Amino acid sequence: VLSAEEKALVVGLCGKISGHCDALGGEALDRLFASFGQTRTYFPHFDLSPGSADVKRHGGKVLSAIGEAAKHIDSMDQALSKLSDLHAYNLRVDPGNFQLLSHSIQTVLAAHFPEEFTAETHAAWDKYLAAVSAVLVSKYR
Ligand code: HEM
């Protein structure tokens, strides 16, 4: 459970991300695919070259969903219910990959928001992304 302070740190940075979801999300996916090649296997139908339109569009969806969930941070089970069904029942993404994506997203935030991404903000985001991931993998098996 995130404290009120941690929630504020998450929501605050979400405000700065919101206008740049495609670019930042696309970069997070580029880093994911470059550093953790096994994650590419879920996207055989995408052009996975760095900065491709597919990657940007999908990265935008991912970051927008993360921003939207922050607006419902106390009821994420409901807010993310459809996405949870999708990832568990249709996509069957191995749960370990969520940590890899969370790491890639945090790397992008650190690179683009060096002033805002203090150790405290980093810790809050780590907790937040773990909470989002926990909901998305909650319906497995
Ligand atoms: C689709 C969010 C983690 C693989 C999606 C969509 C969203 C999303 C918003 C689009 C759903 C739609 O079109 O209705 C997230 C979030 C994640 C996450 C918030 C974690 C924080 C992952 C991971 C993988 C993955 C770790 C695999 C490495 C996919 C795939 C699709 C998808 C393959 C379908 C792509 C397509 O064909 O358009 N995800 N996702 N997701 N996600 Fe995730």
Q: At what angle do helices 53-70 and 119-136 cross, to 10 degrees?
A: 100
* CB of residue 84 inside a 6 A radius of ligand 1: no
* CB of residue 40 inside a 6 A radius of ligand 1: no
Q: In whole angstroms, what is the distance from residue 11 CA to residue 2 CA?
A: 12
Using the mean position of ligand 1's atoms as its centre, give its distance from the Cα of residue 87 in Å.
Answer: 7
Contact 98, 133 (CB under 8 A): yes
Q: Helix H segments across the chain?
A: 4-17, 21-35, 53-70, 76-79, 81-85, 96-112, 119-136
Taking the CA of residue 64 as reference, the ligand 1 atom at the shortest distance is 9
| Minimum CA distance residue for ligand 1 atom 3 | 98
One digit per residue, the tens of pLDDT, for the chain of length 141 reads: 899 999 999 999 999 999 999 999 999 999 999 999 999 999 999 999 999 999 999 999 999 999 999 999 999 999 999 999 999 999 999 999 999 999 999 999 999 999 999 999 999 999 999 999 999 999 886
